[in-house]
Structure 1
Amino acid sequence: MTKAVVLGAAGGIGQPLALLLKANPLVTELGLFDIVNTPGVAADLSHIATPAKVEGYLPPDDGLAKALKGADIVVIPAGVPRKPGMTRDDLFKINAGIIRDLATGIATSAPKAFVLVISNPVNSTVPIVAEVFKKHGVFDPKKLFGVTTLDVVRASTFVSEVIGDLSKAPSVVVPVVGGHSGVTIVPLLSQSSHPLPSSYSSSELEALTYRIQFGGDEVVKAKDGAGSATLSMAYAGAEFAAKVLKAISGEKGVIAPSYVHLSADKAGGDALKKELGKDLDYFSTNVEIGPEGVVKINSLGKLTDYEQSLVQAAIPELATNIEKGVTFIGTPKL
C-alpha cells in the first residue's frame, strides 16, 4: 500500500502528473491538493480503471493535512509558471512563500515521506524545504529530492535527434549534473550511452549543450505567454517518482539523477565536494535510492576539459541560488 500526494494538483503540471501517477500500478492511494478545482480533478481521475483511490482537497477545513495524511511520497509542482522574459530566478519571489507553507504542512503531517520538489527555481526551493524541515526537527536529507529529470529527458531526446533516430530516445542516457536552471545544468555528453558523431564539431557541441541548458526557453517562447513546460515536466516528474516508488517497494539498484543535500551520503557527498573543489551543500548527480532514501551519491566520472569548465561555471551560480533559499527561511517574516 503506497500513498502518493501531489501538491499543486490542479495546475498545468499537476494534472498530467496526477494522471500518470494514477496509472502507476505501485500507487494504491492518490491524494491531491490545490487552492482550486482539486475535487473535480480527483473525480475525473477516479473514473480511470486503475487500483489507486483518489481524493482531492482544498485549503478549507484542514485540506492540506488531510491530503498529506499517511503519505509515502509527496510531489510538489505547485507555484506559478514561467512567462516570457522570466528566468527561474524571477519566480523565486512568488514561489518561495508557496513552497515554505507547503513544506510546513509536510513537516507537521507527513514528516517521514519522500519529498520530490518540482517547483522552480529548484536550486533554491529545495533548500527552502530543507530549512523548514530543520526548524521542525524532521529534516532527513536522504528523503528530499529536487527533480532535475527533465534536463535528462531533454538531453536524451536532443541526442537522439542528432544521431538521426528518435526511436532510440528512450534508451539514450545522458548524465546531467549541477542544478536545474541555465548554466547550472551541465550535460555530460561525453558519457552519453549513444556517442555523438565523430564529425561533431566543438561549436555544434556548444550549441547542443546550450539547447539542453535553456530548453525551457523554447517552450516558453512557443507557448507565447500561455505558460512554460508542463507536459514534458509532468512526464519527467512521473518518471522520477516511478523510480522512487520502485525503491520504496524494495527494488534494488535504482539510480536516478537528482538535486540532493550532499549529507544524504556523507562519503559520497564529501568525495563529490573534492571533485568540485567547493564545499556546496547541494548538487545534482546520479544517486542510488533505496527504501530509506538516498543510499549513495555517485561521482561525476571522467569529464572532458569542456565539461569541467561547465561545472566550474555552474558552481558560483549554484552557491548563490542555495544561499537565497536558506536566507529566505532565515529572514523573519514582516
Structure 2
Amino acid sequence: MVKVVVCGAAGGIGQPLSLLLKYSDLITHLALYDIVNAIGVAADLSHINTASKVTGHVGKDMLPEALRGAHTVVIPAGVPRKPGMTRDDLFRVNAGIVRDLAEACAEHCPKAFILVISNPVNSTVPIVCEVFKKANVFNPRRIFGVTTLDVVRSSTFVHEIKPQFEPHLNRITVVGGHSGATIVPILSQIKNVSFTPEEIKTLTHRIQYGGDEVVKAKNGAGSATLSMAYAGARFTTSLLEASVRGKRGLVESAYVYLGSPGAERNLHSTGLEYFAQDVELGPEGVMNVLALSDLSAEEEALVKTAIGELKANISKGVKFVTSAPVSAKAKL
C-alpha cells in the first residue's frame, strides 16, 4: 500500500494538490489532514473514479491516525504570503506549524518521505531536519524542500520569449534556495537557445520574483497556490515513480541537506548544509546529488549572493528548534 498524506489539505495549495494526487495510480490511500474542513475535502475527492481511497482527518487528535503508515507526507500547511509580506514575516507564522507537524511525523511515520512546501522553504526544511535529528530518526535522503515551482516558472518564462523552447519537454536547472535572490536559474546550460545579456537579466529577475507577480495580480486574495499545487504534485509523482516503481534517471531540483550521496562536492563549494540543486531520485529518496554544472560569470555572482542569504535563512531555521524551550508548542 502506498499512503500519501497531505498536511494542510484544505488550504489554497492543499486542495488542488490533493485533487492532482487523486489522479495518480501510484497512490492507494490519500489521507488529508488539516485543522478544518479536511473531511469535507476528502468526501468531495472520494467521488472521483480513481482507485485510491481518500480519508479526512481534522485537528491535532486525528493527526497520528493520518500519519501512521505513510509512505510520503507532503506539507503545504501554513498561511499564504500577502502583498507586502516578506518570507521573514511568513517564517514567524509558519515555523511553529511546520515544527509541530515534523514532530508528529518523527513519532508516527519516521521513515516516510517528507516533502516541504510551506514557506519560507529555506528555513522550514532545516526546521524539519532538526526535529528529526532530535528524535534520532534523521535520514537526509528522505527530506526535501519542494522548489519545483522555480523550475516550472523557468521553463514557462523562457518559452514565452523563445517559442522554439518546449517547456513541457525541457527542464531547466535551478539552484540555491526558494526565495528571491536565492533562486538561481542556470540559463547558460540550455541547449539550442541563446539569449542576449538583457534577456538573461530580465528572465532571471522574473524567475526569482515570480511569486510577487502572482501576489500582486491576486490583489491580496492569495499567492501562487495553483501553480504551486501543480509543482508539488509533479515532484511527488517523480518521487513515487522512483521509490515505488523503481524508475531510473529521474532528476528534479530540490532543496536538500548536503549529507546525501554526491553532496560532498556542493557542500565544499557552497559551505552550506542546505542547497537546492539537481537531485537524482531513487528507492531511498536522494540517490545522488548532482554537482553544480559549469556556471557563467553572472551565475557565479548570483550563487555567491544566494549563499550569503541562505546562511542566514538556514541559521534561523536551525535556531528555531535548537534554541526553543522544550515546552514551546504552536497550534496545528
TM tier, smaller: over 0.9
Q: Does residue 217 of structure 2 align to residue 222 of structure 1?
A: yes
Alignment-derived partner of residue 48 in structure 2: 48
Deviations 1:14-60 (A, max 9, x none): 00000011101101100010000000000000000001100000115
Q: Which amino acid aligns with 2:16?
A: P
SS of equivalent residue, structure 1 residue 75: strand
Q: Which position in structure 1 is the counterpart of 2:266?
A: 272
Report the 3-state secondary structure (helix = DSSP H, G, I; strand = E; otherwise coil) of the residue aligned with 2:88: coil
User: Pairwise mapping of residues 209-288 of structure 1 onto structure 2 (< 5 A)?
Assistant: 209-249=204-244, 250-265=246-261, 268-276=262-270, 279-288=271-280
Identity %: 59
**SS of the residue 2:167 aligns to:** helix
- Which whole-Å CA distance do the structure 1 matches of 2:118 and 2:150 have between them? 14
Question: Does the 8 A contact of 1:147 with 1:258 survive in 2?
Answer: yes
Q: Which residue is 2:174 aligned to?
A: 176
Q: CA RMSD in A?
A: 1.2
For the residue of structure 2 that corresponds to 1:92, the secondary structure is helix
CA contact (8 A) 1:159 1:172 kept: no
- SS of 1:89's equivalent in the other structure is helix
Runs of 5+ unmatched residues, structure 1: none
**Cα-to-partner distance string for 1:47-93 (whole Å, 9 max, x where unaligned):** 00001100000115x21101111100000000000000112222000
The aligned runs of 1:196-215 (5 Å cut-off) are: 196=194, 200-215=195-210
Measure how far apart 1:194 and its partner are.
4.9
Residues 136/218 of structure 1: CA separation in 2 closer, same or farther (3 Å cut)? same
1:98 matched residue in structure 2: 97
SS, match of residue 122 in structure 2: helix
Residues 25 and 51 in structure 1, CA contact (< 8 A), matched pair in contact too: yes
Distance in 1 (alpha carbons) for counterparts of 2:95 and 2:150: 22
Paired with 1:121 and 1:234, the residues of 2 have a C-alpha distance of 16
Matched, 1:307 2:299: yes
Which whole-Å CA distance do the structure 2 matches of 1:125 and 1:193 have between them?
A: 34
Give the C-alpha shift of residue 272 in structure 1: 1.2
Partners of 1:288 and 1:52 lie apart in 2 by 27
Cα offset, 1:296, TM superposition: 0.6
Q: Aligned to 2:263, what secondary structure does the other structure show?
A: helix
Contact 1:9–1:33, Cα closer than 8 Å, also in 2: yes
- Residue of structure 1 equivalent to 2:62: 63
For the 8 Å contact 1:174–1:192, the answer to whether it is kept is yes
TM-aligned CA deviation for residue 11 of structure 1? 0.1
How much does 1:165 deviate? 5.2
Contact (CA 8 Å) 1:131, 1:326: kept in 2 or not?
yes
Residues 17 and 235 in structure 1, CA contact (< 8 A), matched pair in contact too: yes
1:300 CA displacement: 1.1
| Counterpart code for 2:321 | I
Deviations 1:246-267 (A, max 9, x none): 01111122211100000022xx
Residue 26 to residue 134, structure 1, CA distance change in 2 (3 Å):
same
**Counterpart code for 1:107:** A
Shift, 1:96, TM fit: 0.1
2:308 to 307, 316, 330: 316
Which aligned runs of 4 or more in structure 1 are off by greater than 2 angstroms? 273-276
User: 2 CA distance for matches of 1:291 and 1:33?
Assistant: 26
Distance in 1, Cα, partners of 2:281 & 2:156: 24
Q: 1-side partners of 2:210 and 2:88: how far apart? A: 16
Partner Cα separation in structure 1 for residue 88 and residue 160 of structure 2? 30
* Paired amino acid for 1:35: I
Specify the code of the residue in structure 1 equivalent to 2:132: F
Post-superposition offset of 1:124? 0.1
Q: Secondary structure at the match of 1:295?
A: strand
Structure 2 counterpart of 1:159 = 158
